[in-house]
Amino acid sequence: MAQSQAKTIAIIGGGHNGLTAAAYLAAQGFAVEVFEKRDIIGGLCVTEVPFSKCGSKVKVSSVASYFGMMRKEIMADLSLEDHGLKPYLTDPIEIVLLDSSAGEEQFSFTPRDGGEAVAKIASATAADKAGWQAFWGDIQKAAALIYPRYLAPDLTQSEIVELLKKNGLDKIADHIFAGSLVDLLKQYLQSADLMAVAATCTPGFANLVGSVFGCIHHGTAETKGEFGAWGQVFGGMGAITEALAKAAQANGAKIHLGQAIKRLVVSKIDGVEKVSAIELADGSTREFDLVAVNADSYVLFEQLLAPTASTEAIRQYLKDNRPKVSAAKLHFLLKELPSLKTLRKIDHNHKGVIVMAPPLEAVVAASTQVPNGAMPDRLMMTMAFPTLEDQSMSDGDKPSQHVLTVDVHYVPARINGQAWSEADDQTLLDSTIQAIEAQCPEIRSLILDSYVVSPRALADDFNLASLSCWHLPMTPQYLFEKRTLPGCAHYETPFDNLFVCGAGTYPGGNVTAANGHNLAKHLIKKYSNSSTLTTAAKGR
Ligand SMILES: Cc1cc2nc3c(=O)[nH]c(=O)nc-3n(C[C@H](O)[C@H](O)[C@H](O)COP(=O)(O)OP(=O)(O)OC[C@H]3O[C@@H](n4cnc5c(N)ncnc54)[C@H](O)[C@@H]3O)c2cc1C
């Protein structure tokens, strides 16, 4: 314990960012307590056992399921591997399935090591293949330039553009905050089908501004020392947050589960507004010197804080910028491993990520349908069988059963202006199964049970009031210097002792842990005697 005058700090939310902040701050001698509303740690980065009602012990990564964005520096600082975090790479990495052309299967297949990537896409010419390599080479270079700065919240959009130009990445510089991925791809290739493959690499719509950054952000993934590679985690994504919780506890932090914070108590002393206490669901209050909120800003400003004049601009900003696009995750408990048509033909082992890419025109159509409250005509889906390579996720008593996990990339946050209903969940379930049937006509007969994490579950069960995967969208309007609350510096709020560290802060969403790390660094600088920093807390 390095700090002479330990400050008490409450962290609201036990998502991966809250836990990361807790681990760093506790290492520095802050007296940290984490309050998590759910009975399980992890927020969106969690492993659960959803099919116990039908007697199955299989586990699923309920919401986030792919590893790679977690910063390796944080993993090392907090000794997360010693606390049980074991990521792995799949072989192959991925296969992207497209609609067939003139009755011929179309796909792009990326092996892990050795063997060459194969693209069987009718419209792709030799020039396209060279353009494809050049495109991914440039995206990787851009990702490598940007990602080290995720751990220092001082990078601006114009600096990024300059940095890219200085490194000869002019095409990317011109499009990263001002163009679309489709516009950028047109500078490298002509095949619309190849563009449809690339369109699956950005979380947004490839024809809209912001999608280039989305592609680069995903390109910052690193698994087991392989830059650009996404992987998975033994034990599911919950193994990350369990390791973070252990690191925080080993450093002295206390973690309270099933402890919803109902309200922040604000007092005004000498004209300065301050959060003086937190109120728990049972009405009891606890006083802390500092409060950091991992829950999204919609929870903070619409649920936990009573409206005051000092928060009016922020509340209006949140109202005006309520995310219109969300995502969904579906888990299917299957009697046995299904066989997908294209995979069977090429003797694929069903490992790694299997992406179903809609044609580019369907992505373009979805980019207006979804923000306007309608389901897309065609679903963009990323699928995996996590039980295939990780025995700890399967039910040892029923080894033939498997889980198929499906990400539906974009769905409306609200359907025709209304919150998602049970009927909407059912529609999503039906259309997802129908989309899988294109590759596996017998899929319905294999499904024993299903678990749908729609925007309804994200709001009701995962306490994600924003309904956004990243607490705020990841478009230029909300990136880098613009990823702050109006009128506030990074991680700050209008209240002296109230801070934020969720995915809505710099550098943005996904399981990076950077936001929690950066908040901790900010507080350590603000409140600690820097000469007393521990190694873990100094670093970056
Ligand atoms: C469908 C979907 C798929 C995704 N897939 C991936 C993926 O594969 N890989 C990846 O890297 N990222 C993925 N993401 C994004 C990623 O999951 C998030 O960006 C990230 O997990 C956010 O972490 P966080 O710690 O900032 O917030 P959260 O995980 O949202 O944590 C906030 C916590 O605050 C708690 N809370 C809320 N209100 C209260 C209250 N009143 N009192 C106490 N606690 C409260 C919540 O219960 C929650 O635990 C996905 C997101 C979605 C929605």
Q: How far is CA 252 from the centre of its chain?
A: 28
Distance from C-alpha of 272 to C-alpha of 531, rounded to nearest angstrom: 30
Ligand 1, pocket-test mutation among 16, 469, 470, 478, most atoms within 8 A of CB:
469
* pTM for the model: 0.95
Distance from C-alpha of 438 to C-alpha of 440, rounded to nearest angstrom: 6
Does the Cβ of 70 fall within 6 Å of ligand 1?
no
205 pLDDT above the threshold of 90: yes
Does the Cβ of 503 fall within 6 Å of ligand 1?
yes
Write down all domains in the chain, each with its CATH number in brackets: 8-47+63-85+234-321+466-538 (3.50.50.60), 91-124+324-462 (3.90.660), 127-190+200-230 (no CATH)
- Using CB atoms within 10 A of its CB, is residue 298 exposed (0-12), middle (13-18) or buried (19+)? buried
Residue that the structure tokens 């049937």 belong to = 437
322 pLDDT above the threshold of 90: yes
Residue pair 178/208 in contact (Cβ under 8 Å)? The answer is: no
Does the Cβ of 464 fall within 6 Å of ligand 1?
yes
pLDDT for the residue 402: 96
Q: Would you place residue 524 in the very low, low, confident or very high pLDDT band (cuts 50, 70, 90)? A: very high
Could you read off the pLDDT of 230-276 as tens digits, one per residue?
999 999 999 999 999 999 999 999 999 999 999 999 998 888 889 99
Strand ranges (DSSP E) for 422-470? 447-453
The residue-averaged pLDDT of 358-373 equals: 97
pLDDT for the residue 100: 87
Tokens standing for residue 397: 């008593």
Q: Which of 19, 69, 442 is nearest to 223 (CA)?
A: 69
Q: Which of 417, 502, 405, 421 is nearest to 454 (CA)?
A: 421
Ligand 1, pocket-test mutation among 453, 463, 517, most atoms within 8 A of CB:
463
Could you read off the pLDDT of 109-164 as tens digits, one per residue?
877 775 667 778 888 899 998 999 999 999 999 999 999 999 999 999 999 999 99
At 12, which helix (H) or strand (E)? strand 8-12
387 pLDDT above the threshold of 80: yes
pLDDT for the residue 122: 87
| Strand 87-88 with 60-61, pairing | unpaired
Could you read off the pLDDT of 340-357 as tens digits, one per residue?
999 888 888 888 999 999
Residue % of the chain over a pLDDT of 70? 96
Could you read off the pLDDT of 390-413 as tens digits, one per residue?
999 999 999 999 999 999 999 999
214 pLDDT above the threshold of 50: yes
Centre of ligand 1 from the C-alpha of residue 426, in Å: 23
Task: State the alpha helices, DSSP H only, in 176-260.
Answer: 181-185, 192-199, 211-219, 238-250
The residue-averaged pLDDT of 26-54 equals: 97
As a three-state string, the secondary structure of 485-505 is CCCCCCCECCCCCEEECCCCC
Mean pLDDT of the chain: 93
Distance from C-alpha of 503 to C-alpha of 447, rounded to nearest angstrom: 34
Distance from C-alpha of 440 to C-alpha of 121, rounded to nearest angstrom: 21
C-alpha pair distances (Å), 424 with each of 231, 328, 456: 31, 12, 9
